[in-house]
Structure 1
Amino acid sequence: MTHHPWRFLRGLPHVTLEWVRMHGRVGETNGVDLIRIHPDQLQVERRVTLTHETVHLERGHTTGCAPAVESEVREEASRRLIELPALLDALAWTEDWDEAADELWVTVDVLRDRIDTLSEVERAALVRRARELDEATH
């Protein structure tokens, strides 16, 4: 099932969303009941930012996070936004990162995060799918 960050946010009635121009940031949360998103983003970027900030909020992150924690949040956000079957389909369709990200309705950075953090089982599924496609074309 595809993750719908706006629908997910509606399920958090205690959380306020504010549109705020922030210098050098696209989003932030107080980790309790507030998410701020920079309004000058493309729709896909707002979708990604909202998902990222809701992960921080769920984990109660109230201030800047260590790089390792930020990596965990990026991984979780990428998993929510890109399910394995959709990833396999997109990568079967194109080898172009921009096209694949567009097809998956994410940014290239989120696509890279998802691919970089594939589990062994997921990576095996990707290799298997690539072999099947290769065999079908030869």
Structure 2
Amino acid sequence: MFHPWGILRALAHIRLSWVVMPDGAPGRTNGIDIIWLNKALDQVERRCALTHELIHIEREHTGCQSATVEAEVRAEAARRLIPLDQLIKGLRWARSHSELADELWVTPEVLQDRFDHLGDAEWQTLLDVELQH
């Protein structure tokens, strides 16, 4: 399982600050050395938001990003948080989108991002697994 808190601990130059986001956003970063997370988030939301903000820092994004860049970051966060093998395992028994998100320890939005950005090879793997059952 992807562990963003371990990555954050290894990046000693990054400071994490818990705040009340006036617009309700889950998180933000300056792209250099600080991440702000909304203190109203639950643990799963914190995991997802932290992963998203760490990717912005990794890519050296400063300031507001375009919708295209945000979509790329969301897709990458979903890939890191939901490995294909875990997605397949959960799909075998989950009866709903929310149940699958709970099992994968992500928000329903992150799960949807994962589905929305599956590559051709990943779709083929899912189809192959389905055909075996």
Query: Where does residue 20 of structure 2 map in the other structure?
Result: 21
For residues 128 and 96 of structure 2, the distance between their equivalents in structure 1, rounded to whole angstroms, comes to 19
2:116 is the counterpart of 1:116: yes
Query: Where does residue 4 of structure 2 map in the other structure?
Result: 5
- The alpha carbon displacement at 1:95 in A equals 3.7
Runs of 4+ in 1 over 6 A off after TM superposition: none
Give yes or no for contact 1:92–1:129 (8 Å, CA) kept in 2.
Answer: no
- The alpha carbon displacement at 1:43 in A equals 0.5
- The alpha carbon displacement at 1:128 in A equals 1.2
**TM-score, structure 1 length as denominator?**
0.93
For residues 114 and 97 of structure 2, the distance between their equivalents in structure 1, rounded to whole angstroms, comes to 12
2:96 is the counterpart of 1:96: yes
2:4 is the counterpart of 1:32: no
SS at the partner of 2:92?
helix
Within a 5 Å distance, the mapping from 1:13-92 to structure 2 comes to 13-24=12-23, 25-92=25-92
For residues 33 and 132 of structure 2, the distance between their equivalents in structure 1, rounded to whole angstroms, comes to 47
**TM-score, structure 2 length as denominator?**
0.96
Give yes or no for contact 1:55–1:73 (8 Å, CA) kept in 2.
Answer: yes
Greater gyration radius? 1
Give yes or no for contact 1:17–1:37 (8 Å, CA) kept in 2.
Answer: yes
For residues 95 and 85 of structure 1, the distance between their equivalents in structure 2, rounded to whole angstroms, comes to 18
Aligned residues: 132
How well do the aligned residues superpose, as a CA RMSD in angstroms? 0.8
